[in-house]
Every structure is written in C-alpha cells, then in structure tokens.
Amino acid sequence: MNRQQNAVRPSESPPMEIEVKIYRPSPKGPVLADASVTLNGCFAIRGVQVREGKNGPFISMPSRQVRGEYRDICFPCTREFKQSFDQAVLNAYRMELTQDMEQPPEEQLEQDGPALGGMTM
C-alpha cells in the first residue's frame, strides 16, 4: 500500500512557539521537575520531566513500558527541534528555580500547582 505524505519541509514551516509550565521544581532525587509543554498553542504534552543525569539535567518525554523497555509516547522528530524543545524546557526550569529562591516560603506553597494538572470543571 502506498501512503501519501503531506509533510511540510523544515525550511517551509513557521517558527515553533513552545510554551512551558513547570510544576514542583525540586532539587531532590532524580526527577527535578514535571512540566507541561504546549506547541503553537494547539498541541499539549503532559508528563515531560526534567531529570538529573550523569552530565547534568536532561529532558525525559512521557513514556510507557512495552515488552520490558520504556518507549517514548511522543518525541521530537528532528535533532534541531529536539534541541529547541529541550532548551525551552530547561530555560523554564531554571527560571522557575530562580523565582522560587526569590520568594518567601509561604508564597511558594500557594503557587505550587498539581503535579500533572488535570481538567477542571
């Protein structure tokens, strides 16, 4: 079966707007923070994590276990977009850490959101 692909070439596509919301920044344990990422205001990815690795923080995409190994549910398809995506999440994480250090502890408690926020009705 021959499938027709309607892909837009990277040179033809407009710049991607990446909006990141960081939840529970914490310098303890391997998971430093949870994040939600919205692409161009029309596609949301929940369950993104900032994790501590051997070479510093890295971005972990939402995944599920399949036949004993973890596989990403969604992921950037190009090296360039992966770099942009990871950098946007890391920048948001660092900004959140800076803001948390500047706030008194009682204000931090009020602003902590749900770990992976769900729908509100």
Q: What single DSSP character describes residue 14?
A: P
- Of all residues in the chain, the percent with pLDDT exceeding 90 is 60
Show the tokens assigned to 9. Answer: 């070439």
If 0-12 CB within 10 Å is exposed, 13-18 middle and 19+ buried, where does residue 102 land?
A: exposed
* Residue-wise pLDDT tens digits, 30-78: 999 999 999 999 999 999 999 999 999 999 999 999 999 999 999 999 9
pTM for the predicted model, two decimal places: 0.72
Domains, the chain, ordered by start:
18-105 (3.30.1120.40)
Residue from 109, 98, 116 nearest 31 by CA: 116
